[in-house]
């Protein structure tokens, strides 16, 4: 059974403009011919399909969801990007909570975090890698701390990237360990345009959260996260020596 088509997210004027541009592009491509014309024809076909369906994935990526609009309104932000992810870890809730609660452990599985240092019982200072070799720093405050169950936090209002989030630790069914549920929201620099640029550069928050939780699982279950250098070393060790 084929999946349902995405809901339209373009207005009538945008669809008409896209269709007109698509037809014009196809006509130019037919006159041009050859490989260049073929490539341009593909673009024209995509514009016509965009007009016919009324759906644009770029517009979808740049658009805030209802929950994100609610978060932005509640926090007083211009816009919000939010994500929720979960993973099951073969360790007890006590072990996972204890590991996560020690902020010095966080750079071990949060890929873009360089350093987290404790200021006092509820505050910590974060240094996070940003694009183009830059870093962003802010202070975070723990707003809720239920041992072995839940930790919630928010950044201070003057943070370089304002953010809020929580993480829960639930016993997994069948004594399989702990279900870790994380929900994170932040205010994208430059608003929704900044969010779209981040997605195009491979920094989409949902992908980051998924990868970070997978690394947390690996750290707790095996004690280490393989780096590219470690994987190359393992592959070389597994390769038989030449005779």
Average pLDDT of span 196-205: 48
**Partners of 87 in the beta sheet?**
180
Looking at the chain, the whole-number percentage of residues with pLDDT higher than 70 is 70
Work out the pLDDT band at 201, boundaries 50, 70, 90. Answer: very low
pLDDT band at 120 (very low <50, low <70, confident <90, very high): very high
Q: Give the pLDDT score at 8.
A: 60
**Nearest CA-CA partner of 163 in 196, 138, 199, 200:** 138
Average pLDDT of 72-76?
79
Q: What residues form DSSP beta bridges with 170?
A: 179
102-127 burial, b at 16+ Cβ within 10 Å, e below that, comes to: ebebbbebbeebeebeeeeeeebebe
Residue 4 has pLDDT above 80, yes or no: no
Task: Kindly calculate the radius of gyration of the chain based on its CA atoms and give it in whole angstroms.
Answer: 23
The ranges assigned to domains in the chain are 12-61, 64-225
pLDDT in tens, 146-171: 999 999 999 998 887 888 999 999 99
Residue 177 neighbours by CB distance under 10 Å: 20
CA 61 to chain centre: 12
More confident residue, 170 or 130: 170
pLDDT of residue 174 exceeding 80, the answer is yes
Least confident of 40-54, 112-126, 215-229: 40-54
Confidence of residue 189 (pLDDT cuts 50, 70, 90): low
- Pure H helices in the chain: 12-32, 34-53, 57-62, 66-75, 93-101, 191-200, 205-222, 228-238
pTM over 0.85: no
pLDDT, greater one: 53 or 177? 177
Rounded Cα distance between 84 and 154, Å, is 16
Q: Class of the 64-225 domain?
A: alpha beta
pLDDT at 220: 95
Can you give the pLDDT at residue 231?
41
Q: What is the mean pLDDT of residues 74-79?
A: 79
Per-residue pLDDT, averaged over 28-44, amounts to: 71
């Amino acid at each position: 059974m084929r999946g349902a088509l995405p809901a339209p997210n373009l207005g009538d004027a945008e669809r008409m403009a896209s269709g007109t541009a698509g037809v014009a592009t196809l006509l130019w491509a037919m006159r041009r011919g050859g490989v260049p014309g073929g490539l341009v024809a593909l673009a024209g076909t995509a514009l016509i399909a965009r007009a016919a369906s009324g759906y644009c994935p770029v517009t979808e990526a740049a658009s805030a969801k209802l929950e994100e609009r609610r978060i932005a309104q509640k926090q007083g932000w211009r816009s919000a990007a939010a994500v929720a992810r979960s993973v099951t870890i073969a360790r007890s809730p006590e072990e996972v909570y204890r590991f996560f609660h020690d902020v010095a452990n966080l750079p071990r599985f949060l890929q873009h975090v360089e350093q987290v240092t404790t200021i006092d019982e509820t505050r910590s200072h974060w240094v996070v890698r940003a694009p183009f070799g830059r870093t962003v720093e802010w202070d975070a405050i723990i707003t809720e701390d239920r041992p072995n169950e839940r930790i919630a936090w928010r950044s201070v209002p003057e943070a370089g990237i304002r953010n809020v989030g929580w993480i829960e630790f639930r016993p997994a069914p069948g004594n399989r360990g702990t279900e870790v549920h994380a929900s994170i929201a932040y205010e994208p620099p430059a608003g929704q345009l900044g969010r779209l640029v981040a997605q195009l550069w491979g920094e989409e928050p949902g992908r980051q959260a998924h990868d970070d939780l997978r690394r947390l699982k690996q750290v707790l279950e095996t004690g280490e996260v393989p780096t590219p250098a470690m994987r190359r070393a393992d592959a070389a060790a597994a390769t038989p020596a030449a005779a």
